[in-house]
């Protein structure tokens, strides 16, 4: 499953997104089974792009960074794959940010004997230590995610055949 792009797209700063958007966007609101079916048909590079963007496109603030980390750890166990994506593109610094987010989420939300405590939008307001931790991690995330996108774009350019139809 490769995408059709024109030559100018290779210089677009959104190149890596352009390589997965045609797969991800039509799946919004679809079942996890439908998403998994498409995901299984992707190559390793496409899967890594997918996993990065399913979190990145939702983590647009400190609160979203925290809540979606919780979601992908506790409710839709995809966090390990998100971390692996950063390593696929040789971005261990981003993986460390993800590990910090995971540690913060687990410290506040569990799991406990009775399961996970649901994350809420007010968690950061209610817990100043959590807020400080997430604000710091989110600052690092913004820097590292920018570097990740640059690394992914470079990988796509170096391996066009894995992503783009000739």
pLDDT in tens, 13-23: 999 999 999 99
- pLDDT tens profile 49-59: 999 999 999 99
Per-residue pLDDT band at 114 (split at 50, 70, 90):
confident
Q: What is the DSSP string of 51-75?
A: HHHHHHTT--SHHHHHHHHHIIIII
The chain-wide mean pLDDT, for the chain, equals 95
**What is the C-alpha end-to-end distance of the chain, expressed in Å?**
12
Give residue limits of the domains in the chain.
Answer: 7-163
Element of type H or E holding 96: helix 92-109
Average pLDDT over residues 15-42: 94
Model's pTM, two decimal places? 0.94
Among 99, 120, 94, which Cα is nearest to 108's?
120
Q: What is the DSSP letter of 42?
A: S
156 pLDDT higher than 90: yes
């Amino acid at each position: 499953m490769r995408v059709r792009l024109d030559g100018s797209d290779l210089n677009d700063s959104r190149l890596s997104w352009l390589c997965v958007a045609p797969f991800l966007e039509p799946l919004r609101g679809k079942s996890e089974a439908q998403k998994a079916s498409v995901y299984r048909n992707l190559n390793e590079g496409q899967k890594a792009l997918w996993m990065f963007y399913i979190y990145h496109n939702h983590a647009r603030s400190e609160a979203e960074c925290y809540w979606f980390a919780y979601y992908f750890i506790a409710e839709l166990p995809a966090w390990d794959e998100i971390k692996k994506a950063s390593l696929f593109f040789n971005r261990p610094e981003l993986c460390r940010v993800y590990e910090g987010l995971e540690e913060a989420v687990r410290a506040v939300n569990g799991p406990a004997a009775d399961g996970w405590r649901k994350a809420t939008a007010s968690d950061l307001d209610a817990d100043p230590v959590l807020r400080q931790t997430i604000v710091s991690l989110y600052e690092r995330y913004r820097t590292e995610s920018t570097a990740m996108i640059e690394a992914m774009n470079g990988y796509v350019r170096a391996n066009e055949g894995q992503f783009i139809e000739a």
